Amino acid sequence: MQLYNTLIHSKENFIPLEENKVKIYICGPTVYDFCHIGNARPLIVFDVLRRYLEYKGYNVVYVQNFTDVDDKIIKKSIELKKDFLEISNFFIKEYFIDADKLNIKRANFYPRASENIEQIINFIEILIKKEYAYEVKGNVYFSAKKFNDYGKLSGQKLFELESGVRIKLNNEKREAFDFALWKARKNSDPYWDSPWSEGRPGWHIECSAMVKHYLGKTIDIHCGGQDLIFPHHENEIAQSECANNQKFVRFWLHNGHVNINNKKMSKSLGNTFAVRNVAKDFGYETIRFFMLMSHYRSPLNFSVEAMNSARLGLERLYNCLENLSFLSKKACDNPCDNQSTLEKKLKKEINILEKKFFDNLNDDLNTAGSISALFDLISTANKNLNTYSSKSIIKYFVESIRKIGKILGIFDKEKKRNFSDEIKKMLDERKESKINKNWVKSDDIRMRLEKLGILINDTPQGQHAVWKDFYE
């Protein structure tokens, strides 16, 4: 499998360091608000990466942190007159509600900054001892210039950065690009004891300390949004490689921005969309599917039209699965004579389309191309299967579609389709009115059913009814 590695600006063949084991770390959210569409993208695309590696037989250890000590959380805790932990605990709980509904597999570990202070302090002590960090009045800073490779991820050189950006020197830092590892306590901020002061960790250090503690000194894949490349990931590399004397991350993977109606999403523009609000209109699964319809590195434009077309696409897939399960009840046990040549040809075609699906995933996780192979598979099924088909060819299609769905993390849920006797009666009446070509009556029943939350699909094999939320 080839993956685009930000570190070398090109695709590279992915082979894990340890046989059969892949260590992945993903920067998680700062928990002071609900998960928004921009947060959801890395969760979803890298969840597919993990699922695919697991499908390939690797034992994946997946770690995602929660930044639960941070200026924004402290600000919110002062506004709401609540303890900072009360704020972060609340948003972590809410995070899991959204992540579970988006069908994100749970990580093996969810370390939190506030619960890893000891690891963080130990890490800073190593950096001070090796003279990569210095203390001033209870604050500890990392000396960026001491790390020769500083800038290797973002491709920026320190002296260029210094001339290009004016950074206010706080007269404690020796150089503009030095960054805080430990911050001495101010006012009523949360704090912990440390060898330097009562205080709290800076943001970047928590990821370096957690990676080392939960995964080791060198990991296979570190992922996150493009906006984290500089300075966050650059600083993680500097801290970890100086402390550990060895390569920190082998593959750096970054997903593109999410734009809203072609404008960059940001809190200050007020165009961030909470996942749960979008899900009210489109369903969580549509959000997931929408995110996978583009390549993870390209910018993604969120709009109502794009969400509607994602929903329609997902409905097409569900319709096909529904048709196949309906058809398999009527199908022949063995291929009828005139079908067996066609079915042999179909099996070959399924294999070719599956290969197309996997080839795309192997090419830097191109889920967009993979999904197009899935649609081709559906079209082939819709075009070629009918009541003369055999149970075995239908099963072959269903298994292929389900296998693909499992890797993409879609149609995982068992959908229930029990209807009350009253609804069953209406469905029978509609079927009959169609047979009798009483279109007015059949349309009327269809509308009445729709009001009850039931959608009807008319297919060459007959009418199908599903609950509207079936697709969500």
User: Please, which residue, 207 or 361, has the CB nearer to Zn ion?
Assistant: 207
Cα(18)–Cα(38) distance, rounded to whole angstroms? 32
Distance CA 171, CA 156 (A): 24
422 three-class SS:
helix
Closer residue to Zn ion, CB minimum distance, 70 or 285: 70
> Minimum distance from CB of 45 to Zn ion (Å)?
17
Instruction: Name the residue nearer to Zn ion (CB basis): 228 or 331.
Output: 228
Closest approach, Cβ 38 to Zn ion, in A, equals 16
**319-348: contacts with Zn ion (CB under 5 A):** none
Based on CB atoms, which residue is closest to Zn ion, 27 or 127? Answer: 27
What's the closest the beta carbon of residue 27 comes to Zn ion, in angstroms? 3
Rounded to the nearest 5°, which phi and psi values hold at 199?
-170, -160
Query: Considering only residues 23-62, where is the footprint of Zn ion by CB under 5 A?
Result: 27
- 249 in contact with Zn ion (CB under 5 A): no
Closest CA to 318 of 275, 382, 245: 382
DSSP bridge pairs for 252: 222
**Diameter of the chain measured on Cα atoms:** 88
End-to-end CA distance of the chain: 31
Name the one range near Zn ion by CB under 5 A: 120-128, 207-215, 379-387, 420-428.
207-215
Q: How far is the CB of 390 from Zn ion (least distance, A)?
A: 53
Instruction: Give me the least distance between CB of 149 and Zn ion, in Å please.
Output: 18
Asked if 211 is part of the footprint of Zn ion (rule: CB under 5 A), the reply reads no
Considering the complex, state which of residue 107 and residue 207 has its C-beta at the smaller distance from Zn ion.
Answer: 207
Residue in 30, 4, 1, 26 with CA at minimum distance from that of residue 16: 1
219 binds Zn ion (CB under 5 A): no
63 binds Zn ion (CB under 5 A): no
Q: Is 207 in the site for Zn ion (CB under 5 A)?
A: yes
Distance between CA 379 and CA 395 in Å, rounded? 16
The region of 51-59, 202-210, 242-250, 316-324 touching Zn ion under the rule CB under 5 A is: 202-210
> Is 445 among the residues that bind Zn ion (CB under 5 A)?
no
**Least distance to Zn ion from the beta carbon of 207, Å?**
3
Phi, psi (degrees; rounded to nearest 5) at 106:
-65, 140
Name the residue nearer to Zn ion (CB basis): 65 or 360. Answer: 65
27 or 449: CB nearest Zn ion: 27
Per CB under 5 A, the segment of 91-99, 201-209, 251-259, 433-441 that binds Zn ion is 201-209
The CB-of-139 to Zn ion minimum distance in angstroms stands at: 21
Instruction: For residue 63, give the 3-state DSSP assignment.
Output: strand
- Select the span of 20-28, 94-102, 122-130, 191-199 touching Zn ion (CB under 5 A): 20-28
**CB distance 72 to 32 below 8 Å:** yes
Strand-pair partners of 464: 457
Q: How far is the CB of 3 from Zn ion (least distance, A)?
A: 19
Residue 314 is a binding residue for Zn ion (CB under 5 A): no
Q: Does the protein bind Zn ion through residue 210 (CB under 5 A)? A: no
Residue 93 CA to residue 370 CA, distance in Å, equals 33
Q: Given the complex with Zn ion, which of 40 and 207 has the nearer CB atom? A: 207
d(CA 331, CA 77) in angstroms, rounded, equals 62
Residue 410 sits in the site that holds Zn ion (CB under 5 A): no
Q: Which is nearer to Zn ion, 26 or 404 (CB)?
A: 26
Nearest to Zn ion of 211, 310 (CB atom) = 211
187-196 contacts: CB < 8 A, separation 24 or more? Answer: 188/78, 189/74, 190/69, 190/74, 190/84, 190/85, 190/114, 192/117, 194/121, 194/124, 195/121, 195/125, 196/135, 196/138, 196/139, 196/140
Q: Are 173 and 167 in contact (CB under 8 A)?
A: no
Binding residues (CB under 5 A) for Zn ion: these are 27, 207
